Structures are given as structure tokens and as C-alpha cells.
Amino acid sequence: MTTGTRKTGEFCWINMLTPQPAEARTFFGTLLGWTYVEMRGIVGHVVEVGGRKKLLGTDADSTHHGAPSWFETMTTDVDRATTFYSGLFGWTRKVMPGSKYTTFKHGTADVAGMMPITPQMGKSRPHWATYFTVKDADETAREAVTLGATLGVPIQDVSGIGRFCGITSPQGVTFYVITYTR
């Protein structure tokens, strides 16, 4: 979990692909408190008047409600993924004792997690997942369902970390919410 501005080698940008962007903005705005700015108009105007605009990504404090706070990949090839991300970002790998869960560090900061896809998970495909901090995971899950979402991963505790669940929005976007205990 990071706080403040993210650094090189840390996640800073999240794309959401949906055929229903207006509905997704309403859903995520209501559930996570997000607000939106039309990027095309701003960037275009800056360029028109001779300026340049760097899109540096999010600098949201990951401890705030609705902010991205953890990124996790599920993969069928842990060793290959480790080699790739370590080489690309300079991350180091730490396998958690007594489990197959891996954390990636950038310097001294934990920046991401990795889990192997097992046969018990069915036809899961390799993917990255984003976790968003919320004040109360149980309440957020209830509100999400009221707004038309489904829970793909039931609410559960992760010892020493917090309480989380997996949600799929009415527009088909899967994400996770977590309330940290620390």
C-alpha cells in the first residue's frame, strides 16, 4: 500500500474498458466517490495554445476511500511473471511463508502481489486486479449490490491486512475493495 505520489516502478494509471462509460461513471462515482474530468478537451486546449501536458497518473493517497491501494496479478506461470516484472520494473520478489502468495517490492515498498492460478480456480485467465480502499468493505459490498453489482469474491478477512471482497459492476468491470486493519 502506498501513500501520496507514486514513484517510477509503482502503479499510477488504471484503464477501465466498458461499453457503458456514462453508467460506469455513475456507479463508481456513487460507490467510491469518484469525480471525472473530460481529458480530451483539456489536453486538446493545452496543445492548441502551445503547451504540453504530461499525464502523470494518479497521485491519490491510497489510504483514502475510493483510492487504488493494491495491485495483484493472477498467473499460470509464476517464475516467468517474476522474471518479466523484475526485469521491467526492478521489482524484487518475496514469497510469503507458508503460502504461494508473492509480494513484489520496489526498493523497500510493497507495490504488488502475485498468486498462481490453480486447477481449483477453473478457467481463470491471467490478469491484473485493482483493490480500492474503502471505509467499510461490508457496507460498500451491500451498496454495490443495491446499485446492481454482483459479488464474485465474498467478503472475507485477510489476517493482519484487512477485510475485502471482489465486485463486478453492472457494466461488467471486476474490481476489489478493502478496508485495512492497519
> 159 and 10 in contact (C-beta within 8 Å)?
no
Mean pLDDT of 155-173: 95
**Domain containing 146: what range?**
21-180
Which stretch, 93-97, 119-123, 131-135, has highest mean pLDDT?
131-135
pLDDT score, position 169: 97
> What is the number of structural domains in the chain?
1
pLDDT score, position 123: 85
Asked if residue 25 belongs to a domain, the reply is yes
Contacts of residue 166, Cβ cutoff 8 Å, sequence gap at least 6: 129, 151, 152, 153, 174, 175, 176
d(Cα 57, Cα 45) in Å, to the nearest integer? 19
User: For the segment 138-159, what is each residue's pLDDT rounded down to a tens digit?
Assistant: 999 999 999 999 999 999 999 8
pLDDT score, position 1: 46
- pTM of the predicted model as reported, rounded to 2 decimal places: 0.85
Asked if residue 16 belongs to a domain, the reply is no
Asked if residue 103 belongs to a domain, the reply is yes
In this predicted structure, the answer to whether residue 83 has a pLDDT above a threshold of 90 is: yes
Give SS3 for 78.
Answer: helix
Mean pLDDT of 25-50: 78
Asked if residue 4 belongs to a domain, the reply is no
Helical segments of the chain, H only:
21-32, 39-48, 78-89, 137-146
Q: How far is CA 12 from CA 26, 55, 111, 115, 118, in A?
A: 22, 10, 11, 21, 29
The string over 71-96, giving b where at least 16 C-beta atoms fall within 10 Å of a residue's C-beta and e elsewhere, is bbbbbeebeebbeebeeebebebeee
Asked if residue 1 belongs to a domain, the reply is no
Q: What is the CATH number of the domain that holds 118?
A: 3.10.180.10
Mean pLDDT of 89-93: 92
In this predicted structure, the answer to whether residue 58 has a pLDDT above a threshold of 90 is: no
Mean pLDDT of 68-75: 94
